[in-house]
């Protein structure tokens, strides 16, 4: 069943049908949120809040737009809110405590064999990190990314390019420690 | 490592699955269920005008139905009662062959009685639970609301939408004699 057909069912009163949208998009949303936020608990909270916001806003969802980018936009906004909260948290804890906390989360959550990458991602400027994740963790086109983030396509391409360069430098530094 | 190899490795790592807790999906649906009924999303009645114009025409085109205008001709011989236990009753008024699907659907006249209702529509498994697709029309000044839909034989679940309220029900459609 298509996303639109499920949305029609929810709007007609079949609230349990929303669970099918959750099933379809949860893994993708979790991957995006985790790569942007770098922390499992924050990512799960952002995903939950994004789905709740999407559910409440379904009546205003326009059929001409695909559901997936619409949901992603909500999720990215939620991640930005969460990140702002995290940055306030960073002011409270020392760099050492924060660093140890992040490494612990990554080792627990990420099964790919490159934990240093997650560490390096956490050191990227947030705009670069967000652009890189949307482009490659979610396989979005620059046009879709532009609609989701509100940034221009050329600016997004530049952010991705700079993110790769910065990652390479950071991972080289980690390797030499 | 070349730039290309580096980027490929980064992309592969970014796309690696991130396991979520098994209860994560359940938690979301639990929170959905806690939302008060009045705050749940529902199709706006303001969009109904468009649906009224499109419903039967769209149904005919989408299903490849030959002609709905033949209903009156086939109604007298094909009429079979298919009342359900709920508030909506259905009468089979004919068959139609859907060429594209190579299938035969029943043309069913749905009837619902409510003298006080201002707007009535029906959503169900026969119209993809689309609350806009099948509005019912009041017959003259009476309290009877009707619509004609095409559906398969068998049991169908529906919700009748009456002035921003909904009432679930089941409908059994069958042609009892030929």
Q: How far apart are CA A24 and CA A42, in angstroms?
A: 21
Is residue B16 over pLDDT 70?
A: yes
DSSP A65: S
- Output the pLDDT for position B115: 85
What are phi and psi for residue B43, nearest 5 degrees?
Answer: -60, 130
Q: Name every chain B residue with its beta carbon within 8 A of the beta carbon of A3.
A: none
Tell me if B101 sits within 8 A of B64, measured CB to CB.
Answer: yes
The more confident residue out of A93 and B30 is B30
Residue ranges of alpha helices (H) inside A110-152 are 115-122, 126-132, 142-149
Is residue B47 over pLDDT 70?
A: no
Over its C-alpha atoms, chain A yields an Rg (Å, rounded) of: 17
Closest residue in A to B6 (Cα) is A168
Q: Cβ–Cβ of B131/A19 closer than 8 Å?
A: no
Closest residue in A to B29 (Cα) is A19
DSSP per-residue letters across A6-59 = HHHHHHTT-GGGHHHHHHHHHHHHHHHHHHHH--HHHHHHHHHHHHHHHHHTGG
Q: Cβ–Cβ of B41/A168 closer than 8 Å?
A: no
The more confident residue out of B72 and A17 is A17
Mean local confidence (pLDDT), B20-25: 86
pLDDT band with cut points at 50, 70 and 90 for residue A25 = very high
Mean pLDDT of chain A: 83
Is residue B56 over pLDDT 50?
A: no
Q: Cβ–Cβ of B43/A110 closer than 8 Å?
A: no
Q: How far apart are CA A47 and CA A36, in angstroms?
A: 12
Q: Cβ–Cβ of B25/A43 closer than 8 Å?
A: no
CA distances from A76 to A3, A35, A164 (A): 20, 11, 20
- Output the pLDDT for position A39: 84
- Output the pLDDT for position B27: 92
Is residue A170 over pLDDT 80?
A: yes
Is the minimum CB–CB distance between B21 and chain A shorter than 8 Å?
yes
The more confident residue out of A103 and B148 is B148
Is the minimum CB–CB distance between A35 and chain B shorter than 8 Å?
yes
The more confident residue out of B51 and A46 is A46
Q: Name every chain A residue with its beta carbon within 8 A of the beta carbon of B132.
A: 8
Is the minimum CB–CB distance between B37 and chain A shorter than 8 Å?
no
pLDDT band with cut points at 50, 70 and 90 for residue A118 = confident
pLDDT band with cut points at 50, 70 and 90 for residue B108 = confident
The more confident residue out of A64 and B109 is B109
Half-sphere exposure of residue A114: CA atoms within 13 angstroms, side-chain side: 16
Give the tens place of pLDDT for each residue, B129-141. 777 888 999 888 7
The more confident residue out of B2 and A7 is A7
Q: Cβ–Cβ of B19/A133 closer than 8 Å?
A: no
Out of B13, B29, B123, closest to residue A117 by CB: B13
pLDDT band with cut points at 50, 70 and 90 for residue B127 = confident
Q: Is B168 in a helix, a strand, or coil? A: strand
C-alpha torsion angle, residues A175, B3, B9, B14 (rounded to 10) = 100
Q: Which of A121-125, A146-150, A165-169, B50-54 shows the lowest per-residue confidence on average (mean pLDDT)?
A: B50-54
Q: Is B123 in a helix, a strand, or coil? A: strand
Residue B29, exposed/middle/buried by CB under 10 A (0-12, 13-18, 19+)? Answer: middle
CA distances from B83 to A1, A158, B113, B153, B173 (A): 29, 65, 13, 13, 8
Q: Which own/partner contact pairs does A79-84 have at CB distance under 8 Å and 24+ positions apart?
A: A79/A32, A79/A33, A79/A36, A79/A37, A79/A46, A79/A130, A80/A126, A81/A46, A82/A37, A82/A42, A82/A45, A82/A46, A83/A36, A83/A37, A83/A126
Give the tens place of pLDDT for each residue, A52-64. 999 999 988 876 6
Residue B124, exposed/middle/buried by CB under 10 A (0-12, 13-18, 19+)? Answer: buried
Structural tokens at position A124: 């990227």
Instruction: Write down the residue that tokens 């059994």 correspond to.
Output: B172
- Output the pLDDT for position A131: 95
Chosen for mutation from B3, B8, B11, B24 (greatest number of chain A CBs closer than 10 Å) is B24
Is residue B70 over pLDDT 50?
A: no
Q: How far apart are CA A164 and CA B3, in angstroms?
A: 9
pTM: 0.59
Q: Cβ–Cβ of B40/A15 closer than 8 Å?
A: yes
Is the minimum CB–CB distance between B43 and chain A shorter than 8 Å?
yes
CA distances from B51 to A92, B19, B120, B122, B142 (A): 55, 42, 12, 12, 23
Mean local confidence (pLDDT), A40-45: 89
Q: How far apart are CA A21 and CA B28, in angstroms?
A: 11
Is the minimum CB–CB distance between A95 and chain B shorter than 8 Å?
no
Which residue, A169, A176, A134, is CA-closest to A160? Answer: A134
- Output the pLDDT for position B125: 78
């Amino acid at each position: 069943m298509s996303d639109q057909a499920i949305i029609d069912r929810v709007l007609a009163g079949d609230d349990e049908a929303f669970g099918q949208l959750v099933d379809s998009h949860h893994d993708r949303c979790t991957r995006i949120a985790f790569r942007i936020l770098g922390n499992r608990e924050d990512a799960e909270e952002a995903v939950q809040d994004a789905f709740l916001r999407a559910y409440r806003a379904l009546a205003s969802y326009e059929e001409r737009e695909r559901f997936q980018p619409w949901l992603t936009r909500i999720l990215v906004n939620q991640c930005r809110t969460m990140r702002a909260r995290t940055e306030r948290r960073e002011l409270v804890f020392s760099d050492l405590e924060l660093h140890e906390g992040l490494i612990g989360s990554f080792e627990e959550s990420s099964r790919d064999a490159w934990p240093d990458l997650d560490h390096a991602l956490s050191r990227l400027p947030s705009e670069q990190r967000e652009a890189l994740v949307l482009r490659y963790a979610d396989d979005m086109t620059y046009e879709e990314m532009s609609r989701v983030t509100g940034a221009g396509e050329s600016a997004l391409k530049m952010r991705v390019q700079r993110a790769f360069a910065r990652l390479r430098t950071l991972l080289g530094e980690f390797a030499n420690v | 490592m070349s730039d290309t190899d580096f980027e490929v490795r980064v992309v592969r790592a970014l796309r690696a699955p991130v396991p979520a807790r098994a209860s994560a999906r359940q938690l979301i649906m639990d929170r959905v269920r806690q939302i008060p009924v009045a705050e749940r999303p529902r199709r706006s009645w303001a969009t109904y005008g468009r649906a009224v114009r499109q419903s039967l025409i769209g149904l005919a085109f989408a299903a490849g139905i030959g002609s709905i205008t033949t209903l009156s001709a086939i109604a007298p011989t094909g009429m079979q009662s298919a009342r359900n236990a709920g508030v909506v009753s259905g009468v089979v008024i004919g068959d139609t062959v859907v060429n594209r699907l190579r299938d035969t659907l029943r043309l069913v006249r749905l009837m619902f009685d409510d003298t006080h209702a201002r707007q009535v529509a029906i959503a169900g498994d026969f119209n993809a639970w689309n609350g806009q697709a099948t509005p019912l029309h009041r017959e003259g000044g009476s309290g009877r609301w009707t619509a004609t839909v095409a559906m398969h034989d068998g049991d169908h679940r529906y919700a009748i939408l009456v002035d921003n309220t909904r009432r679930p029900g089941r409908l059994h459609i069958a042609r009892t004699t030929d």
